[in-house]
């Protein structure tokens, strides 16, 4: 007798939900959202 395990396809949504669930369970002190938006790099392009 064999058993098959069905799991959802690995998508970005599945990954984000899994990571959020793990953070909530084991590291709830870590903020989920960035406190500030990332800033654009303000350096000149190399020729």
Task: Express each pLDDT in 7-38 by its tens digit.
Answer: 767 788 888 888 889 988 998 887 777 666 76
Alpha carbon distance 7, 3 (integer Å):
13
> Who has greater pLDDT, 45 or 23?
23
Indicate whether 1 pLDDT > 70: no
Q: Give the Cα separation of 21 and 15 in Å (integer).
A: 10
Residue 6 has pLDDT above 80, yes or no: no
pTM: 0.47
pLDDT at 44 over 80: no
């Amino acid at each position: 007798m064999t058993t098959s395990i069905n799991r959802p396809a690995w998508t970005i949504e599945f990954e984000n939900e899994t990571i959020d669930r793990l953070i909530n369970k084991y590291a709830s002190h870590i903020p989920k959202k960035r406190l500030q938006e990332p800033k654009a790099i303000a350096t000149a392009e190399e020729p």
